[in-house]
């Protein structure tokens, strides 16, 4: 029996595509954000509201990842924004090669911002770089306030945290969700994380999220 040293990254094939996507985005000066959350946190609702409310200021394109169906892409297309649906057919995350193909099919020159809506899953998508400028993690109130501690990877790697469905924090509903705990736990894992508390349903808190997006677009454009 003998040993051979290898020392090679296992996901290097994904990384090569991710680097190519990154180069493409830099060349075109486009901001691209990878949205990651559990299923049902409200990613698509956040996106449709964002697209509608910012339509006079910026053009947004969306790459939708789902295991099956194009339901989410249809919801995006109903806002008139370009959307590309990727069906992973069972895979729990999007990979950089899929994004590479999707980016080529978007009208990139007309867009200011590209959202990737990853497969609803708080674990696996965090391990696959897609070449994006940043990850945005969405956590909704009904999921509970213990998620940053239980699923630290995605909170440690994200640029922004959206705490969605804060309309449910009305005292009459008696929901146990300590929003300060979520913020503190997320900041322990990631000092620089931007946190936005909002409701994509009522619209509360969306303005600060929009300001952050527009600043990000301007920064990318002037880079």
- Contacts with other proteins, residue ranges (CB under 8 A): 1-13, 91-93, 95, 121, 123-124, 126-128, 149, 152-153, 156-157, 188-191
Give the three-state DSSP class for 154: helix
CB of 201 to other proteins, least distance (A): 30
170 Cβ contact list (under 8 Å, min separation 6): none
- Of 130 and 200, which CB lies nearer to other proteins in the complex structure? 130
- Of 92 and 108, which CB lies nearer to other proteins in the complex structure? 92
- Of 108 and 156, which CB lies nearer to other proteins in the complex structure? 156
CB of 7 to other proteins, least distance (A): 6
C-alpha 140/C-alpha 54 separation (Å) is: 22
Q: Report CA-CA distances (Å) from 135 to 131, 193, 219.
A: 10, 10, 16
Torsions phi, psi for 81 (to 5 deg): -85, 145
Structure token digits, residue 155: 């909170």
- Of 106 and 189, which CB lies nearer to other proteins in the complex structure? 189
Residue pointed to by tokens 């698509």: 44
- Of 11 and 104, which CB lies nearer to other proteins in the complex structure? 11
Residues in the chain: 223
Q: Report CA-CA distances (Å) from 23 to 27, 69, 132.
A: 6, 30, 10
CB of 2 to other proteins, least distance (A): 6
CB of 35 to other proteins, least distance (A): 18
């Amino acid at each position: 029996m003998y040993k051979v040293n290898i020392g090679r990254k296992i996901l290097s094939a994904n990384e090569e595509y991710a680097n190519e996507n990154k180069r493409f985005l830099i060349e075109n000066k486009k901001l691209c954000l990878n949205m990651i959350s559990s299923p049902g946190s409200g990613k698509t609702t956040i996106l449709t509201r964002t697209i509608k409310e910012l339509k006079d200021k910026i053009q947004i394109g969306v790459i939708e990842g789902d295991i099956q169906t194009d339901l989410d892409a249809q919801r995006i297309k109903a806002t008139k924004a370009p959307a590309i649906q990727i069906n992973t057919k069972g895979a729990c995350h999007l990979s950089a090669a899929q994004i590479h193909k999707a980016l080529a099919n978007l009208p990139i020159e007309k867009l200011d911002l590209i959202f990737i809506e990853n497969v609803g899953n708080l674990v696996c998508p965090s391990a696959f770089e897609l070449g994006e400028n940043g990850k945005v993690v969405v956590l909704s109130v009904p999921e509970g306030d213990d998620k940053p501690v239980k699923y630290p990877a995605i909170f440690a790697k994200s640029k922004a945290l959206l705490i969605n469905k804060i309309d449910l924090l009305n005292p009459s509903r008696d929901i146990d969700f300590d929003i300060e705990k979520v913020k503190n736990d997320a900041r322990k894992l990631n000092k620089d994380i931007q946190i936005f508390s909002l409701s994509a349903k009522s619209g509360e808190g969306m303005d600060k999220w929009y300001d952050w997006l527009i600043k990000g677009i301007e920064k990318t454009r002037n880079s």
